Amino acid sequence: MEMLWRLRRRQVVAVPSRQALQQARELELVESSPDEPLRLTPLGAKVSDSLSEYAYWKQRGRRHHWAEEIAALQVENLRGKRILEVGCGAGVNLLSLQRCAEVVGIDVEPLYLQFTGVLARLEGVPTPTRVCGRAERLPFEDESFDVALFHGSLPYMRIEKALREAGRVLRPGGRVLVIHGDLGQAIASRASQRRWRLLTPRVFLREVRAVGGMAVYPWLGRLFLEPFAPVYPTRRRMRRWLTQAGLRVNTHETCRIAHEVCYVAEKPAGIGR
């Protein structure tokens, strides 16, 4: 697990044990050649993501992300609700939330959803309900959930369409909770992480493309972005998209936490089918 974690982040990897390396190769998680260092395969990258989610979840005391810090995510405010996590990944938040609510997870990647069952068995808890599908076309009936949760997943989707779909499946009075960074935070984070590497022309041009692609996304979509690259919009743009999705932004509960923003928006009670 440590080897996969380090490879995913392009960090120096200590010489792994022969058994660990052999197992990783047999599972097609890593590959190498005589002239190149050890690297993750596409499958290995997905496995590493799932294992990292699980490790961070255990470090949080097996609580869903920001469970104590953000009022809208506290257990007493979610108890008894029917919650949809959009872009649930390996499903660690579902493992926590199912203690107090009825939960359903949806993700576009089948492998992540398979990990949910594996992790549930490791923890000795029921396996949450999960569905393979796209956020832009949710396979659920209108007004079937009380809460739609995007925990860091929305930047990887077609944001406007995903928010409209979330609004559609919410019951009147239901809530959308979106947690991710904004454009300014993303630029600062990228600059901090890369620092001197930005002096390399290739890295600099890649970063310019990424930031420029995010900046023009509201008008040109993902035209200038690499596949699966995240989009971090400005807070003003996010509030506009939430409003256009038929949701009312709760300015009192929307808040900044660490390097992210939690947007809280409600479906007005007067809006139904």
179: part of which helix (H) or strand (E)? strand 170-180
Answer yes or no: are the C-beta atoms of 126 and 120 closer than 8 Å.
yes
**Residue 199 confidence class, pLDDT cut points 50, 70, 90:** low
How is the chain split among helix, strand and coil, in percent rounded to 5? 45, 20, 35
Question: Residue 198: what pLDDT?
Answer: 62
**Residue 226 confidence class, pLDDT cut points 50, 70, 90:** confident
At residue 104, the 3 state secondary structure works out as strand
**Residue 37 confidence class, pLDDT cut points 50, 70, 90:** confident
Mean pLDDT value across residues 161-179: 97
**Chain mean pLDDT for the chain:** 89
Mean pLDDT value across residues 185-189: 80
- The token pair at 176 is 């959308």
**Residue 20 confidence class, pLDDT cut points 50, 70, 90:** confident
pLDDT of residue 229 exceeding 60, the answer is yes
pLDDT of residue 9 exceeding 80, the answer is no
**Residue holding tokens 């949910």?**
116
Quick one: which of 9, 263, 44, 267 has its CA closest to 154? 263
At residue 251, the 3 state secondary structure works out as coil
pLDDT in tens, 60-101: 999 999 999 999 999 999 999 999 999 999 999 999 999 999
pTM of the model: 0.88
pLDDT of residue 129 exceeding 80, the answer is yes
